[in-house]
Chain A
């Protein structure tokens, strides 16, 4: 990944344009998300990793010096957070030194760097650091472990596929990646829930709203990642294939008898492009093999060209509708 340069005042132009199109709150959200992508992109490019908050606190200031958005110094390293103080914030200057937390691009950039360095979720807040707001600080706090693997205590069987107590209804082999070709994702959900009911720890990645999935399939504790641009702890933007990959990898490292389901592969293809999505699947498939896990991915074949579908089928074991 390469970089291009932007002048400091482009942040104001960008904010102004976003505000015109969608108002202040939307501009804040979008600048924050752009910032996150930039921060993650920078770390991904450098291939750096940190194990502890102290490592992160030692690493970020030096990297930040090359970003061009101002200078930072680390003020505090706590058990679950890092506080950095900002000097000469370019975003603040570009916005006319607002007397409120307004540096959302900077906040996102820092958050993205910390998250990419550690592989963990962070939440970053901007706080006042001097009476006249000439200096602010950012608190980078470790977020909750949303992706913590869990065993479901009582899975409610979906009506369409009653669970069998003795053995899983579908004979899936560990280390394998399966492609469920169906116009609806119900079959993939049923197989997934069946595996979970038999002791697997699952991660569900879907376009469907998580609360709806939980209700429909009785998944109380299983982490569900929502493919959406919404700024939610459980949401991942579909264009963030790198982030999605890292979340899957992180889950696989922690889980026992893991199973990962991705519904609606066509959505990831549309949001990115076919080759990026295929490469993502190849990488995930390798991790599935390494961790003796199971991958279930559903796809609507009518949305795909024959050649593209064949390429995906070469990477995965097709499970046709009706076949168990």
Chain B
């Protein structure tokens, strides 16, 4: 972690910029129009995943004996601006995430199904960068479709 990836300038890796959360609705709408609902979800997940990985790499938080993966993920998430999370371990590396005040859900307004795809990707990318697993993330409940909290399951896929 922390190494500059091939072909990428060190200052790009060090850089963060800010976006208003309302942009997330535009991203969803435009990708859905362009590519259809399923492809849009996949695209936003990928962008979120690479962003989560990059932010974690830059902040250079590493797992150590003092903090568990859920604790590290929770503390790192505070910096992201995507909502507040509580992470619990479910065994075999699986994590359960409760997100209160999801920025993405707020931006999207009412949707028919769980739709926090960028957040889902961000969580998976962050958890992957913090661990030796490659995580996938599924949103099981979402504020935008009527739930009180957004709930995510992070499932590890052991690296080949």
Which among B23-31, B62-70, B86-94, B147-155 touches the partner chain? Answer: B23-31
Q: In this complex, what residue of A is CB-closest to B10?
A: A93
Q: Is there an interface contact between B46 and A17, defined as CB atoms closer than 8 Å?
A: yes
Residues of A contacting B43 with CB < 8 Å?
Answer: 17, 21
Q: Is there an interface contact between A273 and B31, defined as CB atoms closer than 8 Å?
A: no
B126 to chain A, nearest CB (A): 11
A255 to chain B, nearest CB (A): 29
B92 to chain A, nearest CB (A): 30
Q: Is there an interface contact between A13 and B46, defined as CB atoms closer than 8 Å?
A: yes
B82 to chain A, nearest CB (A): 5
Q: Is there an interface contact between A6 and B20, defined as CB atoms closer than 8 Å?
A: no
Q: Is there an interface contact between B16 and A68, defined as CB atoms closer than 8 Å?
A: yes
Interface of A is mostly: helix
Q: Is there an interface contact between A4 and B17, defined as CB atoms closer than 8 Å?
A: no
Q: In which size bucket is the chain A interface? A: 35 or more
A205 to chain B, nearest CB (A): 20
Q: Is there an interface contact between A3 and B20, defined as CB atoms closer than 8 Å?
A: yes
Q: Is there an interface contact between A10 and B20, defined as CB atoms closer than 8 Å?
A: no
Partner of A4, one of B11, B13, B82: B82
Partner of B35, one of A4, A21, A45: A21
Q: Is there an interface contact between A45 and B20, defined as CB atoms closer than 8 Å?
A: yes
Q: Is there an interface contact between A4 and B16, defined as CB atoms closer than 8 Å?
A: no
Partner of A239, one of B19, B29, B34, B103: B29
A305 at the interface (CB under 8 A from B): no
Given contacts A2-B103, A21-B31, contact A8 B16 (CB under 8 A): yes
A43-82 interface mask toward B, CB cutoff 8 Å, 1 = contact, 0 = none? 0010000000000000000000011110000000000000
A45-B55 Cα distance, complex, nearest whole Å: 24
Residues of A contacting B30 with CB < 8 Å?
Answer: 30, 229
A14-B13 Cα distance, complex, nearest whole Å: 15
A268 to chain B, nearest CB (A): 13
A22 at the interface (CB under 8 A from B): yes
Partner of B18, one of A3, A34, A88: A3
Residues of B contacting A322 with CB < 8 Å?
Answer: none
Residues of B contacting A69 with CB < 8 Å?
Answer: 15, 17
Q: Is there an interface contact between B20 and A7, defined as CB atoms closer than 8 Å?
A: no
Partner of A5, one of B8, B13, B80: B80
Some 28 contacts from A to B, beta carbons below 8 A apart, are: A1-B21, A1-B22, A2-B81, A2-B103, A4-B82, A4-B103, A5-B16, A5-B79, A7-B13, A7-B51, A7-B55, A8-B12, A8-B16, A10-B50, A13-B46, A17-B31, A21-B35, A21-B39, A26-B34, A37-B23, A45-B20, A88-B11, A90-B15, A93-B9, A93-B15, A229-B30, A239-B25, A239-B26
The 7 A-B residue pairs with the shortest CB-CB distance, nearest first, are A41-B20, A8-B15, A4-B81, A68-B17, A7-B54, A3-B18, A90-B15
